[in-house]
Amino acid sequence: MSFYKSKWWKESIGYQIYIKSFKDSNDDGIGDLNGIIEKLDYLKDLGIDFLWICPFYQSPMVDNGYDVSDFFKVDSSFGTIKDFKNLVKEAKKRKMKIIVDLILNQTSDEHIWFIESRKDKENPYRNFYIWEKGREKDEGLTEPTNWASFFGGSVWEYDSKTDEYYMKIFSKHMPDLNWCNPFVRKKMHEVAKFWLDLGVSGFRVDAAAHLGRKKKLVDSKLNNNDKYKKDWRMFSNLKETFIYLDEFNKEVFSKGDILTVGEVGGSATVKEAIKYSGIKKGSLNMVFNFDHCFCNNVYDVKSKDDKIKTNLIGLKRVFNMWHTKTYKKAWQPLYWLNHDHPRLLSQYGNEDEPFLSGSMLAVALYFKGGTPFIYQGEELGMVNYPFKKIEDFNDVSLINHYNHEKEKASFNKEDFIYQEGIRSRDNARTIMSWDNSKYAGFSNVKPWFHLDKNYEKRNVKNALKDKDSLYYFYQKIFKLRKDKRYSKTLIYGKYQQLLKDDEDIYCYLRKEDKEILVVANFFNKNKEIEIKGYKVKDILISNYKKENKNLKSLKLRPYEAIVYLVERDK
Ligand code: NOJ
């Protein structure tokens, strides 16, 4: 396929819905499929073309749906298959598409396959999961390998019934499927086909990088004091994973005009990303990497006195690497955050300047090449939740970490709550702010989780009344991306970074049939810059009223962001 070949998913705007927190239609405090239907017009008006809906399959909800106990059923808290079909139909009426999460790495421990698998070693489902004997000799640990799990502790869980361990790279309630087994692969192809038959237009492939396991399981050689080594390479981006995804593509993905986006963040290099999603040979259309999610000090913050600061040079380096090295080789998704990260304004923006910092961040990202994915509430400037006690959290991963950490002599509970509070995935999972009523217009009963601390002011109802709101700014950006005069450049154009060493300003050019210049001041201060070799033909969007056109001496105000149509200044 040629890079320029027009595909709906290259020219569309996506929106991620964490269904549990989006809109409750039946007053049980939990968001649901019918709630999404109620809000389709809102999303359409924002400029959204497709929705990625987080898992809504039958689940005990240990990890809010990523622990699936039946891939062919909708969890009763979210609705029914009939509701899902209706959602697809209502979306279609509005020329919108639905993509869903495809959870391939694991099931819930309540899935019938696992219930069977753990019964005895001869069970036909035994080989659906990864079972191993413990160590023969006492080597300080009993598990088959010394690998850590993403959610804390060992990657292995002991099961006394058969005196063996099963692998689980996430929670012990989420055993890993054994992808070496062709029957597992065939079953998962059937799952994907089932949802395609119901009308989905694609998949976000969960934990796509982790499907393969080495034939021989050996200890990690990482040399540190951790009992279980956080050596993600042991189960990430292995050659087997590429083989399984290629097969999936051949059997399922390639048969339809669908969007596939794999989650490979945290571990995949650019080279590996191109292997997953290369235009010529990739099995997926694009992959999410996380590199840009960690360009600040949130993981180093120890106490309230440590200020969160963006490392703009680092962020620019990451953006530049991905956008230049993948250009014409692999398509990119554009996203700031998802349901596994803290809120955008609390990380890279300024909670007290939601419009200016929020619009600046939107300009910085959504004028690049790739497919935008907006995360629910981003368009309103929703922020982190002020977590105060351990009971305020919901995330299984955080609670697991807490249970491991609290055993250590050096553990300080207050610091733990503060540190986790600012980086917790739970921040992204708070309730969507629809209006200023008691439960933010989400439900008529108390929601399952916290409301945004600013919901009474910053909500959809107010945003729609204010023509200068962040919501309308986002709408304007998406209109520009689709404007025939600029879309070729904005969607397919080459990316060129300017002012590489400037610590405050992010500046890049997009070049195709036109040249478009993007300037974003990341900080709450004035800054003057000079951009050589170009002059302004037009201003396409700007987040200040009084516009700024002199590129030779561009005086940027706090969080100022401007997009120019430019031409060479000979
Ligand atoms: C990645 C998902 O985004 C995350 O929410 C989940 O906990 C893990 N995969 C396990 O499925």
Question: What are the Cα distances from residue 488, in Å, to 9, 10, 285, 482?
Answer: 14, 11, 19, 9
Whole-number Å distance, alpha carbon 339 to ligand 1 midpoint, is 9
Lowest mean pLDDT among 214-218, 226-230, 296-300, 545-549: 214-218
Q: Whose CA is nearest to atom 3 of ligand 1?
A: 340
Cβ of 66 below 6 Å from ligand 1: yes
18 lies in some domain = yes
Q: Is residue 327 exposed (0-12), middle (13-18) or buried (19+ Cβ within 10 Å)? A: middle
Q: Give the integer Cα–Cα distance in Å for 16 and 339.
A: 9
Q: 502 and 448 share a domain?
A: no
At residue 146, does pLDDT exceed 90?
yes
Cβ of 340 below 6 Å from ligand 1: yes
Nearest CA-CA partner of 349 in 308, 391, 314: 308
Of 63, 143, 157, 206, which residue is the catalytic one? Answer: 206
At residue 138, does pLDDT exceed 80?
no
Query: So what's the pLDDT on residue 302?
Result: 85
366 lies in some domain = yes
Q: What is the mean pLDDT of residues 437-449?
A: 98
Told to judge if 49 belongs to the known catalytic residues of this protein, a careful annotator would answer no
Q: Whose CA is nearest to atom 2 of ligand 1?
A: 206
Question: What is the CA 253 to chain-centroid distance, rounded?
Answer: 21
Of 67, 176, 263, 515, which residue is the catalytic one? Answer: 263
User: Can you read off the two tokens belonging to residue 173?
Assistant: 């309630």
Q: 387 and 516 share a domain?
A: no
Q: 562 and 453 share a domain?
A: no
Q: 450 and 513 share a domain?
A: no
Cβ of 207 below 6 Å from ligand 1: yes
Model confidence pLDDT, tens digit, residues 156-209:
999 999 999 999 999 999 999 999 999 999 999 999 999 999 999 999 999 999
Query: So what's the pLDDT on residue 214?
Result: 83
511 lies in some domain = yes
Q: 457 and 534 share a domain?
A: no
Rounded to two decimals, the pTM is: 0.97
Told to judge if 392 belongs to the known catalytic residues of this protein, a careful annotator would answer no
**CATH code for position 454:** 3.20.20.80
Q: 247 and 326 share a domain?
A: yes
507 lies in some domain = yes
133 lies in some domain = no
Q: Give the integer Cα–Cα distance in Å for 100 and 417.
A: 33
Model confidence pLDDT, tens digit, residues 378-398:
999 999 999 999 999 999 999
Q: 512 and 461 share a domain?
A: no
At residue 265, does pLDDT exceed 90?
no
422 lies in some domain = no
Q: Whose CA is nearest to atom 4 of ligand 1?
A: 340
Pocket test for ligand 1, best of 16, 21, 56, 66 (most atoms within 8 A of CB): 66
Query: So what's the pLDDT on residue 336?
Result: 98
Cβ of 540 below 6 Å from ligand 1: no
Q: 470 and 502 share a domain?
A: no
502 lies in some domain = yes
Q: Which domain holds residue 337?
A: 14-106+182-391+428-474
39 lies in some domain = yes
Which of 474, 509, 536 is a domain's end point? 474
Cβ of 170 below 6 Å from ligand 1: yes
Lay out the sheet containing 505-511: strands in order across. Answer: 494-498, 505-511, 515-521, 561-568, 534-542
The pLDDT-based confidence of 266 (bands split at 50, 70, 90) is confident
Q: 511 and 557 share a domain?
A: yes
Cβ of 63 below 6 Å from ligand 1: yes
Q: 470 and 539 share a domain?
A: no
Pocket test for ligand 1, best of 211, 340, 401 (most atoms within 8 A of CB): 340
Q: 82 and 214 share a domain?
A: yes
Q: Give the integer Cα–Cα distance in Å for 101 and 98.
A: 10
**CATH code for position 549:** 2.60.40.1180
At residue 229, does pLDDT exceed 90?
yes
How many other β-carbons are positioned within 10 Å of the β-carbon of residue 5? 8
Query: So what's the pLDDT on residue 539?
Result: 98
How many domains is the chain built from? Answer: 2
Q: Whose CA is nearest to atom 11 of ligand 1?
A: 66
Q: Give the integer Cα–Cα distance in Å for 339 and 390.
A: 20
Q: 540 and 435 share a domain?
A: no
Question: What are the Cα distances from residue 305, in Å, to 9, 308, 342, 452, 482?
Answer: 44, 10, 19, 23, 44
Model confidence pLDDT, tens digit, residues 44-96:
999 999 999 999 999 999 999 999 999 999 999 999 999 999 999 999 999 99
